[in-house]
Chains A and B, each alone.
Chain A
Amino acid sequence: EPEVTQTPSHQVTQMGQEVILRCVPISNHLYFYWYRQILGQKVEFLVSFYNNEISEKSEIFDDQFSVERPDGSNFTLKIRSTKLEDSAMYFCASSRDGQETQYFGPGTRLLVL
């Protein structure tokens, strides 16, 4: 069964560094999402992406964040100048179209020191 994959599974970085989190959505899906979950808190929406542009973003998704689909398979989340409070699990999700079920990847655990 097709599934969303994410790399790396764990990332440790120093405060102020840039990180890129990678996702490979399910192959025939057209809508892509990033969510994050700070330890012990709810899963929060960050951004949705369709047709090579952002379709919606939350208040969390400020200028520090960017997303890109650099090729036909990868979907990336870049966090510039990381802060301690960016430490969280980051989940990628995809859906065939905007109305359909979103399927989530296993997540990347980001730790900012």
Chain B
Amino acid sequence: DAKTTQPTSMDCAEGRAANLPCNHSTISGNEYVYWYRQIHSQGPQYIIHGLKNNETNEMASLIITEDRKSSTLILPHATLRDTAVYYCIVRATSMNRDDKIIFGKGTRLHILP
């Protein structure tokens, strides 16, 4: 089972920042927080990941709390094309093994015009 808890759905107005929360209270020290999204009928798309520090790339920012028990994905200026299911995933990246991704149900984000 997925080790994360996300709201089932969220709405956000176009042009505003979309803040998607995720709880991962049982995260271990060697586990990263990954975010993917899936636009309807497409493959999961990697967005961002982090371990302890906040991260930013051209798509989004990831804010991880100091205790690492929760995180927030921020899409700074949401557009209609950001409508998708967003998955928060906790993933161990141990040496000498490949780690499958366990997807939960994610958050269905609707961007409203």
A-side residues, CB < 8 A to B, are 4, 31, 33, 35, 42-45, 48, 50, 55-56, 58, 89, 91, 93, 95, 97-107, 109
Contacts and interface: CB of A to CB of B under 8 A. Distances in A.
Contacts of A107: 41-43
Nearest to B101: A102
A82 B94 CA distance: 35
Interface of B: 34, 36, 38, 41-46, 49, 87, 93-105
A100 B100 CA distance: 11
A89 B40 CA distance: 12
B38 A33 contact: no
A101 B21 CA distance: 21
B92 to A, nearest CB: 9
Given A33-B100, A95-B98, A102 B43 contact: no
Contact of B98 (A50, A89, A91): A50
Nearest 5 interchain pairs by C-beta: A98-B98, A99-B93, A104-B43, A43-B103, A45-B100
Given A43-B38, A43-B103, A48 B98 contact: yes
Contacts of A91: 43-44
17 contacts: A4-B43, A31-B98, A43-B101, A55-B98, A56-B100, A91-B43, A93-B44, A93-B101, A95-B98, A98-B96, A100-B93, A101-B34, A103-B46, A104-B36, A104-B46, A107-B41, A107-B42
Given A55-B98, A99-B98, A102-B46, 16 more contacts: A33-B98, A35-B101, A42-B103, A43-B103, A44-B103, A45-B101, A48-B98, A98-B98, A101-B49, A102-B101, A103-B46, A104-B43, A104-B44, A104-B46, A105-B43, A106-B43
